[in-house]
Amino acid sequence: MLALSNALHAPANPIGIETIAVRLLEEYLGITQIQFGQMIGQEVIIHRAMAAISHSEKIRFAP
């Protein structure tokens, strides 16, 4: 996690921070897909996704 902390000091914009955080967490956790997003009401807006296909999407959670 020190590598994550150190890497996040370099970028000056939120997109750069998200991109670095997603990449390092994917490597650290040894996973094949990771998404970073924000919950707004019943929806999650995915800002960064790393997998075989990278994309932005909106997901609705049913109550």
Per residue in 33-59, is it b (16+ CB within 10 Å) or e — as a string? ebbebeeeeeebeeebbbeeeeeeeee
pTM for this model (two decimals): 0.51
| pLDDT tens string 21-42 | 777 877 888 887 777 788 888 8
Q: Work out the burial of residue 11: count CB atoms within 10 Å of its CB; fewer than 13 is exposed, 13-18 middle, 19 or more buried.
A: middle
**Strand ordering across the sheet containing 34-40:** 34-40, 43-50, 58-60
pLDDT on residue 13: 81
